[in-house]
Structure 1
Amino acid sequence: MRWRALPHAHLCAGMLLSLLALTLSLAANQNQVKIEQGSVFAPCDFAAIFNFGDSNSDTGCMAAAFYPEISPYGETFFHEPVGRASDGRLIIDFIANYLGLPFLNAYIDSIGGTSYRQGANFAAGSSTIRRQNRTFYDGGTPFTLDIQTAQFYQFKSRTSRLNNQGKKHFRNRFPRPEDYAKAIFTMDIGQNDIAAVIEKVGKEDSHAVLSDIVEQFATQVKFLYGQGARTFWIHNTGPIGCLPLSLHSIHDPPPGFLDHIGCINFQNDLAKEFNEKLKNIVVSLRAKLPDASLIYVDIFSAKYKLISNAKKEGFVDGGEMCCGYHENGEHVSCGNKGRLGNGTEIFGGSCEDPSSHISWDGVHYTEAANQWIANRLVNGSFSDPPLPITHSCRHSQMQ
């Protein structure tokens, strides 16, 4: 199965005005935040973002490397396909915007004078942490996490040499050597690893495989740390058992197969086990890398909360897909042509209002859903420790 696959008030103005000004600044997440023992820190002022992941945060890698994305992908915000598996922006786009940084360009997409001055994106659709015995046509990808971190190493090495040569043209397009320690390293990968485990349930020791996956993840975090990374924003994996593409193939499930909102229990249980192991490994890395800040972000809970409260939040049922044809047991994938059982040729187009849907194509989320989720991630509501992303570099100062 292929899982293609967001100045203090002057004291002389009086204590009341000072407190009011501080309260307003905190509400806007613009200036300072109070953390534990009364310590007050200014925002991190990240110089760049370096992202690693799968199709949930791929901004053009797979489209540049293999086949370009097709319509109606990208229709909502970009009004054309731009290599994102959604109708518009992804969570990483909203994160970049929230931090005052530009959208991330894919590392391997060099067309059109691409600038990497404030970061680069190494994420690629279908990517896994653990290498899989699959070809691209079977839903695999050559861009596993270890390859992505190797690409980062090459990127840093080559751009550092260009900067050292003192050529202004290159210096304006790439990060400065000192920017890497002041960058945020975002990581959102693991969904495709869980999908691979699901396919082999009963054929291998799932618990041992999940442990191996998170150990390999930790190895890559330590590698990035060795290359100067100091702030990590690490997403766990989402509720894979709630993806409509899987749900639409289920008929007459036995009691207990689905949970109270209609998601597949055993698939979500595997995701939860992975997430627990991931959190434990993040905690252990904090002890091994004491001057690094590692924030664990519970994206599973954020997505599950949205799906559970879909109608309350203004969306249709979370099991409905916006793009593609999915009726009477017949399916045509988003952006593709297909022929129904009665011989009718049909195009898997998008729904009339993508903003009313959570799921875009059965696996990926719509821009509206991505924005809903991003808004709740960046303020620290789902983070451990509970820091807003603007202050995520401060965790090492709290330990």
Structure 2
Amino acid sequence: MGLVLAFLLAVTTLSQQVTCATLRPSYKAIFNFGDSFSDTGNVAILAPKGLYIVNPPYGETYFNRPTGRASNGRVVLDFIAQSIPLPLVPPYLAKGQDFSKGANFAVARATALDFNFYKENNIIPTSSLTLLNISLSVQLNWFENLKPSLCNTTDACNLYFNSSLFLLGTIGFSDYNTMLTAGKTLDFVNSKVPDVVGSITSAATSLLDQGVQHMVLPGVVPLGCLPRILTTYVSPNLSDYDSIGCLQRYNNISQYHNRILQDAVKQLQIEFPKAVISYADYYQPITEFLAKPILYGFTVNGSPLVACCGGGGPYNYNSSAVCGQSGVAACPDPTTVNWDGIAFTEKAYNIIANGWRNGVFAIPPI
């Protein structure tokens, strides 16, 4: 049965790839906003010694060095760019870059909500970097600052951005992670989900109002399946875990976020009928990888929920010995699902990117 399912999946994927290859527009540039799941180096410039993702073994698989990406290699954005094909999208904060074919404004630990929200709710930032100069609204301001160097008239900008691909995320994970780290209850976090999605929707509307015609809004990952969450909020009650071994109460946050975001995407599609606006899924592919790792070609280090790079423990996540810290090593074969307790491996990102492109994990396909 597993072989039959794999065959059908392969045939379906190939068929969709052929169709999408025929219909997919030729993008001239990519612009991306988000957090660590799509940062390609901004955090390494902002805090070259502040976060462990600027240290080995990050980047070991593809780049052979740390690049500021929260992975052992490429992230979804990289695979999307290479499939178009376009150059890997340079981080906005990098000096001397050619941004004519796109720019990446995403920064690790960026939030959808602004600093004032966290200040008003007495939520202490988890680091000096978090919440200060990297929220979604700040990234939009960076885009506005860059625009004059890309186009100098309304008509020129419309033509340029009409043929560009805009990805708004993923973002939202850092909001929920920051709230939880500050000791806020699950009820509090759930109550703020509409605000987080509202911030994302507002940013999308702002870009679409400027003539953007091709936009992707990714959902958030399953929080309750992350080694960091599983380690930090371990429960003695087996009923708190789903059949995969994820903490359902934390996954509920992700599911709620994604439902509201999908509704927002449908509304944006109505408001901007000439634009192609896609909802791209992280949740479904990751839970499928964890439920059927062998089917997707992942190696399993005891459990598919175990991180490849970490300082030990049931899920190989230790907040006192995180990946990138001195003495913390990666697993010999980084074809696991999770990389460092939060982010995922290059292999996982590659499959997700293909699913976004061919429509398996995105509606409509990119």
The AA in structure 2 aligned to 1:255 is: L
Counterpart selection for 2:361 from 382, 387, 390: 382
1:83 Cα deviation after fit: 1.3
Q: Deviations over 1:181-208 (max 9, x none)?
A: 1111012111112324545554864444
The AA in structure 2 aligned to 1:374 is: A
1:373 Cα deviation after fit: 1.8
1:226 Cα deviation after fit: 2.5
Are the counterparts in 2 of residues 198 and 267 from structure 1 also a CA contact under 8 Å? no
1:138 Cα deviation after fit: 5.6
Matched, 1:159 2:150: yes
Matches of 1:107 and 1:251, distance apart in 2: 38
1:325 Cα deviation after fit: 1.8
Alpha carbons of structure 1 residues 127 and 49: separation in structure 2 relative to 1, 3 Å: same
Segments of structure 2 that go 5 or more residues without pairing to the other structure are 1-13
1:287-326 equivalences under 5 Å are 287-315=270-298, 316=300, 317-326=303-312
Match of 1:143 in 2: 134
Matched, 1:361 2:340: yes
Matches of 1:135 and 1:321, distance apart in 2: 25
Matches of 2:186 and 2:330, distance apart in 1: 38
Matched, 1:85 2:70: yes
Matched, 1:192 2:181: no
The AA in structure 2 aligned to 1:324 is: G
Match of 1:340 in 2: none
Q: Deviations over 1:60-91 (max 9, x none)?
A: 01101112511111111000111111110001
The AA in structure 2 aligned to 1:149 is: L
Matches of 2:86 and 2:312, distance apart in 1: 38
Segments of structure 1 that go 5 or more residues without pairing to the other structure are 1-23, 33-41, 165-174, 338-346, 390-399
TM-score (norm 2): 0.83
1:158 Cα deviation after fit: 3.5
Are the counterparts in 1 of residues 158 and 212 from structure 2 also a CA contact under 8 Å? no
Counterpart selection for 1:243 from 226, 245, 257: 226
Match of 1:267 in 2: 250
Are the counterparts in 2 of residues 60 and 82 from structure 1 also a CA contact under 8 Å? yes
Matched, 1:60 2:50: no
Are the counterparts in 1 of residues 16 and 359 from structure 2 also a CA contact under 8 Å? no
Alpha carbons of structure 1 residues 382 and 274: separation in structure 2 relative to 1, 3 Å: same
Matched, 1:334 2:335: no
| 2:166 aligned counterpart, secondary structure | strand
Q: Deviations over 1:368-388 (max 9, x none)?
A: 11112222221011222xx33
1:93 Cα deviation after fit: 0.5
| 1:279 aligned counterpart, secondary structure | helix
Matches of 1:215 and 1:240, distance apart in 2: 20
Query: Radius of gyration: which is bigger?
Result: 1
Counterpart selection for 1:226 from 172, 191, 209: 209
Alpha carbons of structure 1 residues 139 and 254: separation in structure 2 relative to 1, 3 Å: farther
Matches of 1:311 and 1:86, distance apart in 2: 21
Counterpart selection for 1:373 from 349, 352, 355: 352
Q: Deviations over 1:215-258 (max 9, x none)?
A: 22111111112222121111101101100122234555213211
The AA in structure 2 aligned to 1:372 is: I
Alpha carbons of structure 1 residues 251 and 284: separation in structure 2 relative to 1, 3 Å: closer
The AA in structure 2 aligned to 1:352 is: P
Matches of 2:184 and 2:126, distance apart in 1: 22
Are the counterparts in 2 of residues 25 and 31 from structure 1 also a CA contact under 8 Å? no
Match of 2:199 in 1: 216
Q: Deviations over 1:345-372 (max 9, x none)?
A: xx002111112x1111111111111112
The AA in structure 2 aligned to 1:333 is: V
Q: Deviations over 1:15-42 (max 9, x none)?
A: xxxxxxxxx997545753xxxxxxxxx4
Structure 1 range deviating more: 59-68 or 128-137? 128-137
Are the counterparts in 2 of residues 153 and 227 from structure 1 also a CA contact under 8 Å? no
Aligned residues with identical type, % of pairs = 30
Are the counterparts in 1 of residues 180 and 186 from structure 2 also a CA contact under 8 Å? no
| 1:123 aligned counterpart, secondary structure | coil
Structure 1 range deviating more: 233-242 or 287-296? 287-296
Matched, 1:51 2:32: yes
Matches of 1:216 and 1:251, distance apart in 2: 31
| 1:54 aligned counterpart, secondary structure | coil
RMSD over aligned CA atoms reads: 2.5
Structure 1 range deviating more: 257-266 or 324-333? 324-333
| 2:203 aligned counterpart, secondary structure | helix
| 1:248 aligned counterpart, secondary structure | helix
Matches of 1:233 and 1:117, distance apart in 2: 20
Alpha carbons of structure 1 residues 207 and 73: separation in structure 2 relative to 1, 3 Å: closer
Alpha carbons of structure 1 residues 155 and 195: separation in structure 2 relative to 1, 3 Å: same
TM-score (norm 1): 0.77
